[in-house]
Amino acid sequence: MKGNEAIAEAAIIAGCRHYFGYPITPQTEIAAYMAKRMPKIGGTFLQAESEIAAINMVYGVASTGLRVMTSSSSPGISLKGEGLSYLAGADLPALVVNVQRGGPGLGGIQPSQSDYFQATRSGGHGDFRMIVLAPSSVQEMAELTVKGFELADQYRMTAMILADGTMGQMMEPVALDLDVKPMPEKQWATTGTKMNRPHNIVNSLFLDPAALEQTNFERFERYKFIEENETMYEEYLTDDAEIVIAAFGIAARVSKNAIDEARKQGIKVGMIRPITLWPFPVAPFRKAADKAKAFISVELSMGQMIEDVRLAIDCKAPVTLCNRVGGMIPSPEQVLESIRQTAASLGGAN
């Protein structure tokens, strides 16, 4: 199954019956899959007139408490920025998928990770966060889709799957026996009062600054709790590592090949692979910095996650960047060379 299809099927398994989107390479298979499946299971697939329309349809369905999603690729996600901010302002849960392509602007259609800042810092205006999940296999495309819906509901916010063209287009075996937790009760949802409760109002407009300040404070209390409780990551050979690679998504797959080769050459190198990009898994990096002498951030960007790595380790060790951009992907050889150079600079085995 293709990664894009795995996301679509997992969303259906998670109980999502409403999908709104607009086609863009390299994620169109999600929409195509939904177009085929949704009518058969009583769901809604709608190809909106634009990305902006699609995200506002998501806002509408999210207000009723139902599981809803949209998907796009980089330029399309920028168009959704306003809607993402409104979802945050109204504390609505939704799943948004970004299968990234090269940028900026219309860019290209090949894989990229250069929307890291956009996803982890701000998808739109105002103070807000999204939970950002970074799959590194087709299996994780499916699993994190379910997880994304659950986290979105639990914390009443947007969860974003931040994948890339490779993850979306590649096929791998995938097991779809996914555990889905029951959906929490949503007493805030606009489901009709049936004349026996006060109106529920979904809104992101607060003209009283004191009231608006209070919503921000409350939201950030929630964010703090998420930072403390919801980080996900995978460590690979970090126990004795003198060099630690930070990489997510496709970059982690490439890095793993390079690490295996470097280990054969006697270089003690490992990897921390963040699965949640926000909240960023600070703890394992902090722990690794006690022993590791150098870090390498492998990214398909000009160096975005590297800032979070530096922050996480309080600049206790040098962090270098190993990257390709514009739709190019670092080869295992390039990553290996970067590891070897770093090892040489440490005066270690080489």
Partner 1 sequence: MTRQFLFSGFGGQGILFAGKFVAYKGLMDGKNVSWLPSYGPEMRGGTASCGVIVGDETVGSPIVSTPDVLVAMNLPSLDKYESTVAPGGIIFVDSTLVSRPVNRTDVTVYAIPATQMASDNGTPTLANMILVGKILKVLNDFEDDSVRAALGKVVSAKRADMLEVNLNAMKLGADY
**Site residues (CB under 8 A) for partner 1?**
25-26, 109-110, 165-166, 169-173, 250, 253-254, 256-257, 260, 329, 331-333
By C-beta, is 7 or 95 nearer to partner 1? 7
By C-beta, is 169 or 304 nearer to partner 1? 169
Under 8 Å between Cβ of 278 and 158: no
By C-beta, is 15 or 107 nearer to partner 1? 107
- Please give the DSSP secondary-structure letter assigned to residue 189: S
Taking the complex as a whole, the smallest distance from the CB of residue 3 to partner 1 amounts, in Å, to 10
Taking the complex as a whole, the smallest distance from the CB of residue 31 to partner 1 amounts, in Å, to 15
Taking the complex as a whole, the smallest distance from the CB of residue 142 to partner 1 amounts, in Å, to 15
Q: List strand residue ranges (DSSP E) for the chain, in order.
A: 18-21, 44-47, 68-72, 94-100, 131-133, 158-164, 233-236, 243-246, 269-274, 276-278, 294-299, 319-323
By C-beta, is 25 or 200 nearer to partner 1? 25
SS3 label, residue 129: coil
Under 8 Å between Cβ of 204 and 247: no
Dist CA 47 CA 22 (whole Å):
6
By C-beta, is 147 or 253 nearer to partner 1? 253
Under 8 Å between Cβ of 273 and 252: yes
By C-beta, is 226 or 269 nearer to partner 1? 269
Taking the complex as a whole, the smallest distance from the CB of residue 83 to partner 1 amounts, in Å, to 27
- Cα distances (angstroms) measured from residue 32 to each of 10, 24, 149: 14, 11, 20
Taking the complex as a whole, the smallest distance from the CB of residue 35 to partner 1 amounts, in Å, to 18
Taking the complex as a whole, the smallest distance from the CB of residue 258 to partner 1 amounts, in Å, to 9
* Beta pairing, strands 243-246 & 269-274: parallel
By C-beta, is 60 or 332 nearer to partner 1? 332
Under 8 Å between Cβ of 62 and 93: yes
Taking the complex as a whole, the smallest distance from the CB of residue 256 to partner 1 amounts, in Å, to 4
By C-beta, is 332 or 348 nearer to partner 1? 332
Dist CA 177 CA 8 (whole Å):
14
Dist CA 317 CA 125 (whole Å):
34
- Cα distances (angstroms) measured from residue 110 to each of 25, 101, 151, 213: 9, 5, 29, 41
Taking the complex as a whole, the smallest distance from the CB of residue 172 to partner 1 amounts, in Å, to 5
CA torsion through residues 328, 333, 336, 340, sign: negative
